[in-house]
Amino acid sequence: MSDAEILMFSPMLPIVEKTLAEKLTLHRLWTMDDPESFLADKAANIKGIAYGGHTPLTANMIDRFPNLEIIANFGVGYDAVDAVHAGTKSIVVTNTPDVLTDEVADTAMGLTLMTVRELSAAERHLRAGKWLQGAYPLTRGTMSGRTMGILGLGRIGQAIARRAEAFGVKIAYHRRTRQDDIAWDYYDSPEALAAACDILMIVLPGTPQTHHLVDAKVLAALGPDGIVINIGRGSVIDEEALVKALQDGTIRSAGLDVFEHEPSVPDALIAMDHVVLLPHVGSASIHTRDGMGKLVADNIIAWFETGKPLTPVPETPVPAAT
């Protein structure tokens, strides 16, 4: 096994640290008395980074490590890593797909049910003792007969679609190109998709191309019975436009697991009783997070053992092993 030195900026799951420390030299930056002095003295020794996403891994930070070969990101989304810049320097970036697909898809359906049926508000009604004064009002929401438009039909989007079909929901989708082997209805823009559905399910990563893709026009196309569910990235929605659409009845409701500036959530959203808000828990189970952590470590180990990471992202073509 290589004696490569690996850097971890901040604490990650024990499985990540244990797996890496058993086979490689692992440096834990947060435990050091003077992290800046360590970086100044030892940055050239670092060949791999296990990255937990706590602070952005910018081009300037990447450039501090002249011999860096791999950045293993914890999570499917890797928008906090400048993967394009890494790719120009032949540094491989990896993520953790598949491991969390089912967990996030389950969360998406749970969030959809909570929002459509107003289950969170009904629970608050009971906990506040209001049931003693009267039953929770009948809701307009039902899953039956709805159309779910999935914005971003990748692994997770398809897993959500299969679950939604079991509820009798019709599926439509938008992605950059039509997928010939998929029978669900395809729409060539987010606005066209929104006009054709009443549940808009967002499963997109946060990139410059997806920033505010769901804007006031898309929300208007969704219509007054429309519901937005976001388990992708908060930056995909223009949050100010969403608040306004909810306040003036342009759409009916929203279920959000992610936010544009999380963990900060707009007070206006928190004040809306008909909106369901979760603190980014889409994959937050011990089983799934341990699987993600193991894949972070396994990507780094595979790189130094074989020159082939397990799950590289497309912006960083894998260079020949040295």
DSSP string computed for 300-319: HHHHHHHS--SSB-TTSPPP
The phi and psi torsions of 104 (rounded to 5 degrees) equal -70, -40
The phi and psi torsions of 97 (rounded to 5 degrees) equal -75, 170
Is the domain covering 101-277 a CATH 3.40.720.10 domain? no
Q: Are residues 104 and 84 in contact, defined by beta-carbon separation less than 8 angstroms?
A: no
Q: What is the percent of the chain with per-residue pLDDT over 90, rounded to a whole number?
A: 89
pLDDT number for residue 77: 86
pLDDT of residue 49 exceeding 90, the answer is: yes
For the segment 195-246, what is each residue's pLDDT rounded down to a tens digit?
999 999 999 998 889 999 999 999 999 999 999 999 999 999 999 999 999 9
For the segment 284-293, what is each residue's pLDDT rounded down to a tens digit?
999 999 999 9
State the average pLDDT over residues 160-171.
Answer: 96
pLDDT of residue 320 exceeding 70, the answer is: no
Q: Which residues are annotated as catalytic? A: 233, 262, 280
Residue 321 confidence class, pLDDT cut points 50, 70, 90: very low
pLDDT of residue 3 exceeding 90, the answer is: no
pLDDT number for residue 316: 81
- DSSP secondary structure, 140-183, as one string: S--STT-EEEEES-SHHHHHHHHHHHTTT-EEEEE-SS--TT--
For the segment 84-94, what is each residue's pLDDT rounded down to a tens digit?
999 999 999 99
Q: Which pairing describes strands 92-94 and 227-230: parallel, antiparallel, or unpaired?
A: unpaired
Coil, helix or strand at residue 279:
coil
State the average pLDDT over residues 32-39.
Answer: 95
State the average pLDDT over residues 244-259.
Answer: 98
pLDDT of residue 319 exceeding 60, the answer is: no
The closest of 157, 158, 234, 149 to 195, measured between CA atoms, is 149
Q: Are residues 61 and 39 in contact, defined by beta-carbon separation less than 8 angstroms?
A: no
Mean per-residue pLDDT over the chain, rounded:
94
The closest of 308, 310, 306, 304 to 319, measured between CA atoms, is 308
Q: Domain map of the chain by residue range? A: 5-97+286-306, 101-277
pLDDT number for residue 162: 97
pLDDT number for residue 322: 42
The phi and psi torsions of 264 (rounded to 5 degrees) equal -75, 125
pLDDT number for residue 2: 62
Q: Which helix (H) or strand (E) holds 74?
A: none
Q: What is the pTM of this model?
A: 0.87
Domain 101-277 in the same topology as domain 5-97+286-306: yes
Coil, helix or strand at residue 207:
coil
pLDDT of residue 37 exceeding 90, the answer is: yes
For the segment 108-134, what is each residue's pLDDT rounded down to a tens digit?
999 999 999 999 999 999 999 999 999
* Distance (Å, whole) CA 227 – CA 222: 8
* Distance (Å, whole) CA 253 – CA 256: 10
CA-angle at 152, arms to 218 and 184, nearest 5°: 95
Residue 54 confidence class, pLDDT cut points 50, 70, 90: confident
Q: Mention every residue, 6+ apart, whose C-beta is less than 8 A from residue 264.
A: none
179 or 27, which is more confident?
Answer: 27
CATH class for domain 5-97+286-306?
Answer: alpha beta
pLDDT of residue 1 exceeding 60, the answer is: no
